[in-house]
Structure 1
Amino acid sequence: MTKGSSMMAMKEWFEGGRVAIAMLTVQVISGALQIMARIIFNQGTFVFAYLFYRHVVGAVCIAPLALHRERDGGKKLSWGIFLWLFVVALTGLTMALGLFCYGMSDTTATYATNFLTLVPVVTFLFSTILRMEKVQLRTKVGKMKILGTTICFGGALIMALYKGKAFYIIHRTQKHHRMLTKSKPQNRTLGTIFLIGSCLSNCFWFISQGKLLEIYPYKFWTTFFICIIGSMQQAVIGLCINRSRGVWRLGWNLELLTIFISGTLATALSFCMISWAVAERGPTYPAMFTPLRLIFVAIGETLFLDEVLTVGGLLGMSLIIIGFYSFLWAKNKEIKAKTTNADAEVESMPDESATA
């Protein structure tokens, strides 16, 4: 190996390491935010008030990026695009996040995070039903996608229906684990219904977002407008549910810190890092790190919220991760095959300038 090639390999390794660290950071931020959100929900924070303030902060943070990176995007807004923005905000921010927060409040953050891992798989199923994607059952890739989907759903069913023996990461001898959160009765059945609704809303969000980006390819402006429209939707729905001033009032406490972190880091910073990772490594690369959030959240809940780990939970979690990576492997192979075929078609096309 020559000096030039070794330097190139080191550079590629360094660039890949930076992208991996960025994606790990995204999952750590998301995991920590879910733990903090569950704490404030247990303390009585109103879900729609939290979502409203979170997306207002997110819009403020993303606005400078939209103005700097996509200066002309704000001028190309039409009523048709606004309608799609409204649908994306409704399905992705108001319904998906709202139902997820209520579901997490009635269960645990670890249990709820498993449903986030199922989102790409369920989206694939709906895309297949709507004929937006082909299954190709006779190919190895098609069989792996079906197998991964089946394993994921099997893991989800095990988590929902079977608990088994419970145990803790550390032996609890102190009461400081319960100092951050008040005791709140859980309703796993209702929480599961909310989480299933959140999962389905996420699927429609991805599908509608793909349609939106076809007619309005400005990612920063899209995020800004979706945050603004979503916050308006959440304010209207929240006021219909609870008009008490107390639930909308902010104080200098963990609730304010959670809103600030979710708006600045989870909405603005994470969006930029994921976009950069997609540009550097492709669209499937960020999704590879999603199951790591399960591990972070499970450990965090056990350490800080005194939640137990169960055999059923660990078994279901493991199956979901295995199924997710099987599906992701097949999807990545499919994308590479399409790219190779497209390049081959371009190379086989006759050179019009030469024939002329």
Structure 2
Amino acid sequence: MGYCLDMEYYLPVLAMVLTQFIYSVFIVYRHAFATILLAPIAYLSGRNSRSYSLNLTSFSWIFMTSLIGITLYQNLYFEGLYLSSSSTATAMINLTPAVTFVIATFVGMEKVNIQSLRTIAKIVGTMICVTGAVSLSMTLLKGPKLLNADHKMPSKTMMTTTLESDENWLIGCLFLLGSSVAGSIWLILQVPAYASHPNYISLSAWMCLISTLQSSILTLFLEPDLNAWKINSLLQFGCTLYAGIMGSAFVFCLQAWCITKRGPLFSAMFNPLLTVIVTILAACAIGVIIGLYTVLWGKAEDVKEMINSKLVVNETTEVTFSTNESCEKSSCKIDLEEHLLADKSTSRCGYK
């Protein structure tokens, strides 16, 4: 019981560690770092060709691609991750191949022939992706949260808290569904965007730059407090830098190259691997959290031991003082009785 109380006491500490950096600000900074990295590379790779320049058509395609595929997609995804769990978020990403296949079919990028074995394989694979995403989302309802770690409320409001948690989870799933649709549209839009601007490095750099500006405006609207823009620790800076370099710059370039070679559906079919990868990484994160809890519990036990030892010392001092005081009273009483007895016997002798 004492251990559970210790865990309850340190849950706000864990929540503070996990949620002290606003995700919308994180999106702005990560793409700003990606822009700083890709801009000189894009300039050097396209300075001898006309593919580096932008016209109104290419800028319009890049602007729409950045708005839907980066700004809208990532804000919806992180909001869904905030309201649900990491496992649910990665499970819902499995919808991306299915949605991409449907959209690509409607716009004519994928040909559908019911009598073809390849078309049947695509349809069956789409159904498996949808079924797997729904089943995993329901199974992993209580998966570990990376953002908005829950803190248990008193028992009298437990029913209300449970209802609010279920409602938040449903809203989070809707946000994640919207992010999957936005991500699928993003993959489709990169085809005409690359056709109007045939340099995937320059295309990625422009997308990062425009999405940085778009996300900045959105973040100022959602979070007007300028203190939220501060990076308070080296860990936050390192995570943001890594996300900008690997998660945005490297991934965008690699994905744009794959789309130009094999199409958007080929790139989308690798998204289900995120479920396996994130599940493994989530287990590692849980190990870190358990280690944090263990250290905090150990420190709490040290504090308790120090308090208990001080109480024992104080009680011993009080007992010793009480014993000495009682001994002094007894000694005084004995001396007084002896003195009175001696006086009484003397008076009797004189009377005789």
Range class of TM-score, shorter chain = 0.5 to 0.7
Structure (1/2) with the larger helix percentage: 2
Q: Distance in 2 between matches of 1:276 and 1:130?
A: 21
- The residue aligned with 1:183 is 149
How big is the shift at 1:241? 1.1
Q: Answer with 267-276 or 184-193: which moved more.
A: 267-276
The runs of 5 or more residues in structure 1 that have no matched partner are 1-38, 168-176, 308-356
Residue 209, structure 1, aligned to residue 190, structure 2 = yes
Which protein has the larger Cα radius of gyration, Structure 1 or Structure 2?
2
Residue 246, structure 1, aligned to residue 212, structure 2 = no
Q: Distance in 2 between matches of 1:260 and 1:253?
A: 10
- The residue aligned with 1:291 is 272
How big is the shift at 1:291? 3.5
One of 150, 165, 180 as aligned partner of 2:127: 150
Q: Distance in 1 between matches of 2:188 and 2:269?
A: 20
Q: Distance in 2 between matches of 1:275 and 1:103?
A: 25
- The residue aligned with 1:336 is none
Q: Distance in 2 between matches of 1:154 and 1:275?
A: 28
How big is the shift at 1:40? 9.1
- The residue aligned with 1:52 is 28
One of 79, 83, 87 as aligned partner of 2:64: 87
Residue 259, structure 1, aligned to residue 240, structure 2 = yes
CA deviation string 1:140-191 (max 9, x = no partner)? 1111111111111111222234459x89xxxxxxxxx99x987336532111
Which amino acid is 1:270 matched to? V
**What is the TM-score normalised by the length of structure 1?**
0.64
The runs of 5 or more residues in structure 2 that have no matched partner are 1-14, 152-164, 289-352
Matched residue SS, 2:94: helix
* Structure of greater relative contact order (alpha carbons < 8 Å, 6+ residues apart): 1
Which amino acid is 2:149 matched to? S
- The residue aligned with 1:333 is none
> Residues 126 and 273 from structure 1, CA distance in 2 versus in 1: closer, same or farther, beyond 3 angstroms?
closer
Contact 1:73 1:218 in 2 (8 A): no
Q: Answer with 288-297 or 199-208: which moved more.
A: 288-297
Percent sequence identity is 25
One of 130, 134, 142 as aligned partner of 2:111: 134
Report matched runs for 1:1-356 at 5 Å.
Answer: 42-71=18-47, 72-73=49-50, 76-162=53-139, 183-184=149-150, 187-272=168-253, 290-305=271-286
Q: Answer with 290-299 or 260-269: which moved more.
A: 290-299
Q: Distance in 2 between matches of 1:40 and 1:92?
A: 30
Q: Distance in 1 between matches of 2:16 and 2:280?
A: 18
How big is the shift at 1:73? 4.8
Q: Distance in 2 between matches of 1:40 and 1:58?
A: 28
Q: Distance in 1 between matches of 2:71 and 2:279?
A: 26
Q: Distance in 1 between matches of 2:266 and 2:103?
A: 22
> Residues 229 and 120 from structure 1, CA distance in 2 versus in 1: closer, same or farther, beyond 3 angstroms?
same
Contact 2:21 2:228 in 1 (8 A): yes
